Amino acid sequence: MQPHASPRALRAFVEVARRGGVAPAAQRLGVTPSAVSHLLRELEAGLGLALFQPGSGRAALTEPGMRLLRGIGDAFDTIDRAVADLAPRPGGGEVRVSTLSTFATLWLVPRLARLQATEPALRVLVATGTRPVDLAAEPFDCAIRWGRGPTWPGLEATRLLPETLIAVAGPALLAGGPAPEAAAELLRLPRIAARSRPEDWPMLISALPGGPEAGVLAPPPSLVFETRALAVRAAVAGLGVAVVDAALVADALQDGHLVRASPVAVPRPEAHFFVARPQALARDPHPRRFRDWLLAEAAVPGAAL
């Protein structure tokens, strides 16, 4: 069985690890202690690892638990800070955005400080999920969607970022050596996958020399997470190689938190799009300002690859 972890279980783990127990974590999360305990059991069963020392009452981490906390804890901090910083401003406009969690975590949230600097009166409310919201019936002004577009009836779609798959890893995993150029070399490294994107690894392996043959015999990934955002955080922590859209990790590559684990890049026909109802864009300047800011950020050199 492949290791897996849900975002809810990972959040519960981070809160318990930081607060030294189930009860304070449950209070922080607004759930019952039994619910937190259930999520921890689910996480340990999914990973096949003990994350807390036996007999510690969930107060002391094992070595794998410490590695996991180092790898993913700051991702939740980043989201919490970004949401907290978006406090209402007198006289400011409001934009309610629905987006995918991976896009929000890896690309949008790291750029929100620049939005606040350029549009200090614009209040952005961000909600994440995989379900395409109905912009005509639900309380959202716009959305970020992924697909081949523009194929969403009744919506105006603006292409933001094309998708190109690359393999990335923490610098220590390659030990300063060159990135593997052949499929067999890459497959010797531990691999991390996203349950939501099972086709990414086969597509990248097939593009490498010897890929079609090696892909048939490839073992399953070492770790499987629900989203690409979590897979990337695991790669930053040095747990293996992840395949992800180059645009989503451009900052991490530039900052040296990640390195390319293969020289191959695989363009896909999909992209991230800003979508909104034409009527909403015509009557309200705030979604238009948000769209224009997104386009400017997407045009920054290195933002797409």
Longest Cα separation, the chain? 61
Q: Please indicate, yes or no, whether residues 284 and 245 belong to a single structural domain of this protein.
A: no
CATH number at residue 93: 3.40.190.10
Q: Please indicate, yes or no, whether residues 24 and 61 belong to a single structural domain of this protein.
A: yes
Q: Please indicate, yes or no, whether residues 178 and 238 belong to a single structural domain of this protein.
A: yes
Instruction: For residue 213, give the 3-state DSSP assignment.
Output: helix
Q: Please indicate, yes or no, whether residues 171 and 218 belong to a single structural domain of this protein.
A: yes
Q: Please indicate, yes or no, whether residues 49 and 95 belong to a single structural domain of this protein.
A: no
Q: Please indicate, yes or no, whether residues 180 and 223 belong to a single structural domain of this protein.
A: yes
- Tell me the per-residue pLDDT of 67-106, one tens digit each, with 9 for 90 and over: 888 888 777 777 766 665 544 444 458 899 999 989 999 9
Q: Please indicate, yes or no, whether residues 227 and 258 belong to a single structural domain of this protein.
A: yes
Domain boundary residue, one of 20, 49, 75: 75
Domain boundary residue, one of 38, 53, 75: 75
Q: Please indicate, yes or no, whether residues 50 and 97 belong to a single structural domain of this protein.
A: no
Number of domains observed in the structure of the chain: 3
Domain boundary residue, one of 75, 104, 129: 75
Q: Does 236 fall in a domain?
A: yes
CATH number at residue 257: 3.40.190.290
Q: Does 242 fall in a domain?
A: yes
- The boundaries of the domain holding residue 71 are 7-75
Q: Is the bond leading into 301 cis (omega within 30 degrees of zero)?
A: no
CA distance 59 to 245: 37
Q: Tell me, what's the pLDDT at 5? A: 82
Q: Does 303 fall in a domain?
A: no
200 membership: H or E segment, kind and range: helix 200-206
Q: Does 1 fall in a domain?
A: no
Q: What is the pLDDT along the chain (305 residues), one digit of tens a residue?
A: 567 788 888 989 999 988 888 998 888 888 899 999 999 999 999 888 899 988 887 878 899 988 888 888 777 777 766 665 544 444 458 899 999 989 999 999 999 999 999 888 889 999 988 788 888 888 899 999 999 877 788 899 999 999 999 999 999 998 877 788 888 889 999 999 999 899 999 999 999 988 877 665 678 898 999 899 999 999 999 999 999 999 999 999 999 999 999 999 999 999 999 999 999 899 889 999 999 999 999 997 654 44
Q: Does 304 fall in a domain?
A: no
Q: Please indicate, yes or no, whether residues 226 and 88 belong to a single structural domain of this protein.
A: no
% of the chain surpassing 90 pLDDT: 50
Q: Does 225 fall in a domain?
A: yes
Q: Please indicate, yes or no, whether residues 37 and 184 belong to a single structural domain of this protein.
A: no
Q: Please indicate, yes or no, whether residues 183 and 210 belong to a single structural domain of this protein.
A: yes
CA distance 287 to 3: 40
Q: Does 182 fall in a domain?
A: yes
Nearest CA to 4 out of 254, 187, 242, 195 is that of 195
Q: How far apart are the first and last CA of the chain?
A: 34
CATH number at residue 15: 1.10.10.10
pTM of the model: 0.69
Q: Does 237 fall in a domain?
A: yes
CA distance 113 to 151: 32
Q: Please indicate, yes or no, whether residues 49 and 115 belong to a single structural domain of this protein.
A: no
Strands (E), 39-150: 93-99, 122-128, 142-147
